[in-house]
Chains A and B, each alone.
Chain A
Amino acid sequence: MSSSNWTTDFLSQLADVGIAVEQIPLPAISLWQIASPQWQQFAELAMLADLRWASGWAEHHDERLFINACFEKYGVYVLLRAIVNTAKPELPSQATVYPAANRSERHSQDMYGVNFLGHPDNRRWTRHKAWAKNHYPLRKDFPVAGMPETITPPDMDYPFVKAYGAGVYEIPVGPVHAGIIEPGHFRFQAVGELILNLEERLAYVHKGIEKIAEGRNPESLARLAGRISGDTTVGHTWAACRAMEQAAGVEIPARAALLRGILAERERVANHLGDMGAICNDVAFVFAQMQFTRLREDWLRTNAAVFGHRLLMDKIIPGGVACDLTDESAALITQGISQLRKELSEIMPAVDLNSSLEDRLYTAGYLAPDIAKAFGTLGYVGRASGQDFDVRRDAPYAPYDQANFKVALEDQGDIASRFWVRYKEINAALKLIGHFISQLTAGDILAEWQTPLPGSESLGIVEGWRGEIMAYVRFADDNKIARFYPRDPSILNWPALEKLTLNNIVPDFPVCNKSLNGSYSGNDL
C-alpha cells in the first residue's frame, strides 16, 4: 500500500460497519468527526488496520466537550473527534483497545470529568489532592488561579496495585529522590531482589500548562511551550510554533527553517551526550560519565557563544527564529562538530571494549518489540526495540524534507540498544547540522505574522530529541489561544518503563530508568 491512500481504504472500511465520518480539512491535517458511541468501535477497526494511537486530549466548548484522538500510519496523521455533552460526558473508552490511550484518557477524566466507559483502569492520574472532588480544572468555569486550600492534604489513599504472598515486599521510592532529578513516585513489589511489579505515580509537577496557555498571544505561547520540559525547549517550541503557523497560514522563510533544524539537532546531541554519560554513571562507570559530561559542556558553551543561550531557550519564535548565524559562528559550529567527532572516536572504543560495562547493559531492561508497539513507544526507546518511525523521515517538514539521513535503529531492546541508538543519532545529527549549514543562503529569518481566524486549529508535529512531539493549538478571536495541548513523547514512553523493568532486579532499576529517561515535567504538564 502506498503511503497516502490508506485513509481511503480505511474510510471505506468504516463505512462498511456503519461509522459515519464527517471529514473536515484542517491546515496540514484532516479532521474526522464521528458520533461518540462509536469511539471505541473506531479504535477496534484502527487497531485491525494497524494504525498507531498517537495522542488524546479534550476541549471545553460551552455545553459540549470535544474528545480528540490522533492516529498515524505511514506518516499520515488523522485527527479524530467526538462531541459529548457536559451534562453527561461519557463515551466508550479506547484504552481497552490501545493501552497507549490509558493515561491520556485518565488525564481527560481528571481534568474535564469525562467518563470513559469500560476503561480498564479509571483511577485518578493527574488529580492528586489539589482540587476538590467535583472540580474539573480545565473546564472554562474553573479559575486559572485554582481554589487551593491553605494546606494541600496528603495524598494517602491512592489505590496502588498490591501483591501478596510470602516474601513479597513493597518498596516505595520517591517522589523526592536523592539526586537532582524531578519528582515521581515508583512503587515496587519485589521478592528478594526480583521485581514482580512496578507502578508509576506521576503528576507531582503538574504546573497547569494547558490552563495558563489559554488567552495568550502567539509569542507568549511559544515561550510557555519552551518551558514544558527544560531539556526539550527547542522541540516543544518548534511544535507549538508549527501548529500556530499552520493555523494562521504563515509560511516561514527557508533560512529560518534551516536554523530551526540546526537548533533542534544541537539539542538532540546535547541531551544524548548527557544521557550516555548518565547511563554509565548509574553503573558506577564514572570515567565515561565525566567524559560525556565534559563533551556536553563544551557543546553547550558553543550554544551560548553562538546563540546566546546554553539550552537554546526562546530561539524559535512564531514565524521564524530569533537568532541568526554569521559565517564566523557557522565556522565555530563546524569546528565544534569535528572536535566532538574526534573525541568520540577515542572514547567510544573504550566504552565499547569494557566488558564490565557490557555485562551491565546487555540484556538488562529488555523491551520486547511487540510491547513497544502496543504502547506506541517513541524516539530512541521505540527505535531500540525495532519501531522504525521518525517524523523527520516519515512525515518530513522543512528543513528535513530537503535532507538525507539515516534513522538509527536497533532491535535488541535492551539498555545497550538504547545507548547505541543514541550514539547513532548523534552521528546522524552531526551530519545534519553540517548539511543545514551548507544549505544556508541569505534571506529573512522571520515571516510576518497574520492573525488567524477565530476557531482556527492545527496540529504541529516535530521529532524532538525524545521522539515525536505533538502540539495542538486552537485560536480564539484576536490572536488569542483558546486551547493548547502539547504531547511530550514521555507520555507514551513512561508506561514502557513499567514493562521493561519486569524480571530485572531492584538495583538495576536506576539504569533501566535512565536508559528511558522520560520527562516528568513533560508528562505532568
Chain B
Amino acid sequence: MNWLIAILQTTLFVVLAPLLAGWLKWCKCHLQNRKAPSLLQPYRDLIKLTKKQPVVSEQASWLFIKAPYIIFSATVLAATVVPLIAVDLPTSASADVIVMVGFFAFARFFLALAGLDVGTAFGGMGSSREMTISSLAEPAMLMAVFTLTMTASTTNLSGAIAHVLHEGLVLRPSFVFALFALILVAIAETGRVPVDNPATHLELTMIHEAMILEFSGRHLALIEWASQLKLMLYGVLIANIFFPWGIAESFGASALGYGLLAILGKLMLLAVFLAIAETLVAKMRLFRVQEYLSFAYLLGLLGMLSHIILEASR
C-alpha cells in the first residue's frame, strides 16, 4: 500500500510538472500584457515533439542518443525522494537529500556531455557555462540543506518535514536564511531569469538551451519534460520544507486529497511570485552569476551560523 502511494506520488510529479510550467507561463504572459497560451500548452508541445522524428547529427555518439533517457530517469528518481503529498513514504525513507542532489548532478553531467558530444560551438559553450554555474550552485544548495537537516537532526527530507510540522510555527532565523538561499539556488538551477532565459532565441546568451540546441523530437521532449520536473521539484522543496502544513501524515484518502490540494495551492502561489520576479528584472550579465551564487552561499552559511549560535544550544 505504501509503495503504491509512493508510485502514485511520483506519477503525480511527472504528470503535473508540465502543468506548473504552463501556469508559470500563463502568469508571466498576463504580467506582460500578453494573451496567454492555454495551461495545457506544455502537454501539447510534448505530444507534438514525441510525434516528430528526432534528427541526430552524423557525428553524434551513443551518448547523445542515450542522454535524454538518462537525464529524464535521473530526474524522476530525484522526484521519488521529495515528499509531494505525504511524508513517511518508503521511497523517501530509503534515500536522503544528498542522494537527490546527487541525482541532479548525475543528470547534469550527462546533459553537459551531450552538449559537447556533437561538437558544435554552442553546445560546448552551454556545457561550459552550465558547469561553471553548477559548481557554484551546488555548495550553496548543500549549505542551505544542511542548515535544515541540522535543525531536524536528519538528512532525510521526510523526517525533516515531519520535524518542522510537529514543531509548529516557530520563527527560526536559520530557516529564513536557508529559505532565501534555496530560492536563489533554485532560480539558478532551473535556468530562470535573471540567471538564464528559457524563452530566448539568442544562441550566444543561452546556458541550458545552448546544450539542448541539437536535440529534437522525442529526445527534446524528454529533456524539456525533465526541466519542467526539476522546476517543480525545487518548488515542492521550498513549499514543503518551509511551509509543510497541509501535507498528509496518514494515508487516508481524505488526507491525501487534502495534501494534493495544499501542494497545488502552494505551487501556484510560488509560481506567481516567480513570474513577478522574472517580470521585474532583466537578465544579469553572465559574470554577475558568481556574485549572485556566492550571495546564496553566504546566506546558507549565515543560516547555519545562526542555527549554531541561536538555536542549537536549546
A506 and B204: CB pair below 8 A? yes
Q: Which of A286, A357, A364 has the most CB of B within 10 A?
A: A286
Q: How far is the CA of A280 from the CA of B283 in the complex (A)?
A: 10
A284-B193, A356-B194 known; A510-B33 Cβ under 8 A: no
A510 and B205: CB pair below 8 A? yes
Q: How many residues on the A side are at the interface (Cβ–Cβ under 8 A)?
A: 31
A193-B287, A359-B285, A360-B282 known; A282-B201 Cβ under 8 A: no
Chain B residues positioned under 8 Å from A286 (CB to CB): 28, 32, 199, 279
Does A332 interact with chain B (Cβ within 8 Å)? no
A507 and B32: CB pair below 8 A? no
Chain B residues positioned under 8 Å from A360 (CB to CB): 282-285
Closest to A174 in B: B203
A506 and B125: CB pair below 8 A? yes
Chain B residues positioned under 8 Å from A178 (CB to CB): 201-203
Chain B residues positioned under 8 Å from A509 (CB to CB): 204
Does A283 interact with chain B (Cβ within 8 Å)? yes
Does B286 interact with chain A (Cβ within 8 Å)? yes
Q: Looking at the complex, which one of B194, B286, B288 makes contact with A284 (CB distance below 8 Å)? A: B194
Chain A residues positioned under 8 Å from B281 (CB to CB): 285, 354, 356
A510 and B286: CB pair below 8 A? no
A179 and B202: CB pair below 8 A? yes
Contact flags (1/0) for A161-190 with B, using CB distance below 8 Å? 000000001111100011100000000000
Contact flags (1/0) for A349-365 with B, using CB distance below 8 Å? 00000101101100010
Q: Looking at the complex, which one of B31, B33, B282, B287 makes contact with A283 (CB distance below 8 Å)? A: B282
A284 and B197: CB pair below 8 A? yes
Does B312 interact with chain A (Cβ within 8 Å)? no
Chain A residues positioned under 8 Å from B285 (CB to CB): 359-360, 364, 505, 507-508
Q: Looking at the complex, which one of B201, B204, B279, B280 makes contact with A507 (CB distance below 8 Å)? A: B204
Chain B residues positioned under 8 Å from A177 (CB to CB): 201, 203
B33 and A294: CB pair below 8 A? yes
Q: How far is the CA of A239 from the CA of B153 in the complex (A)?
A: 78
Q: Give the shortest distance, in Å, between A281 (CB) and chain B (any CB).
A: 9
Residues 476-525 of A contacting B (Cβ, < 8 Å): 505-510
B279 and A287: CB pair below 8 A? yes
Q: Give the shortest distance, in Å, between B216 (CB) and chain A (any CB).
A: 14
B121 and A356: CB pair below 8 A? no
B202 and A354: CB pair below 8 A? no
Does A291 interact with chain B (Cβ within 8 Å)? yes
Residues of B at under 8 Å CB distance from A?
Answer: 28, 31-34, 121-122, 124-125, 193-194, 197, 199-205, 279-288
- In the complex, given contacts A284-B197, A287-B32, what are 20 additional A-B residue pairs having Cβ atoms less than 8 angstroms apart? A173-B204, A177-B201, A177-B203, A178-B203, A179-B201, A193-B286, A282-B202, A283-B282, A284-B194, A285-B282, A285-B283, A287-B279, A356-B194, A356-B282, A359-B282, A360-B283, A505-B286, A505-B287, A506-B204, A510-B202
20 contacts between A and B (CB under 8 A): A169-B121, A169-B124, A170-B121, A178-B203, A179-B201, A179-B202, A282-B202, A283-B283, A286-B28, A290-B33, A290-B34, A354-B281, A357-B282, A359-B284, A360-B283, A506-B125, A507-B204, A507-B205, A508-B285, A510-B205
